[in-house]
């Protein structure tokens, strides 16, 4: 439901938005960019020398109050059926339902209908729903 507003809308501040690049991934095609921790005994990156690429560390973590929160202000909960949607009834200002990928269009329609009654926001409400061809 579009009318439900989050309980508290706090601005989300990310300490770093760029992905951490793997050491020497810019030099060789055979080395992919996905992060791997350097393990060599003489590695400059592992020893954190000045001028080398940064390594992921606990200091880059997000604020606990804004962690796992979408830009719309809600946390996400994956829902497979109407019964799982009922669990979000008391938390409709904190969690938004996301309908699972494998759910059929018939069950999807039932979930969306029940979510409107319970005032629960559904993030992917328009997915896999075609307009009725009764006209």
User: In 1-135, where does DSSP find H-type helix?
Assistant: 82-86, 105-118
Beta strands in the chain (DSSP E): 75-79, 95-99
Report the alpha-carbon distance of residue 88 to residue 122 in Å, rounded.
11
> What pLDDT does residue 128 have?
83
Report the alpha-carbon distance of residue 30 to residue 126 in Å, rounded.
41
Structural Rg of the chain based on CA atoms: 22
- 85 Cβ partners below 8 Å, 6+ apart? 79, 97, 111, 114, 115, 118, 120
> What pLDDT does residue 5 have?
86
Q: Are 8 and 93 in contact (CB under 8 A)?
A: no
Report the alpha-carbon distance of residue 19 to residue 52 in Å, rounded.
15
The Cβ of residue 93 has, within 10 Å, a number of other Cβ atoms equal to: 16
> What pLDDT does residue 2 have?
53
What's the average pLDDT block by block, 10 residues per block, for the chain (135 residues)? 75 93 97 97 97 96 92 94 94 94 94 95 88 57
State the residue for tokens 């996905």: 34
């Amino acid at each position: 439901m579009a009318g439900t507003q989050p309980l508290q809308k706090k601005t989300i501040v990310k300490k770093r938005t760029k992905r951490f690049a793997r050491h020497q991934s810019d030099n060789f095609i055979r080395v992919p960019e996905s992060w791997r921790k350097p393990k060599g005994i003489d590695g400059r990156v592992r020893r954190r020398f000045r001028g080398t690429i940064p390594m992921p560390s606990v200091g880059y973590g997000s604020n606990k109050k804004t962690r796992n929160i979408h830009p719309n202000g809600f946390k996400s909960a994956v829902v497979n059926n109407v019964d799982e949607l009922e669990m979000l009834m008391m938390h409709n200002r904190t969690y938004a339902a996301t309908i699972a990928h494998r759910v059929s269009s018939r069950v999807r329609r039932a979930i969306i209908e029940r979510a409107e009654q319970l005032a629960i926001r559904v993030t992917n409400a328009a997915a896999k729903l075609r307009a009725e061809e009764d006209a």
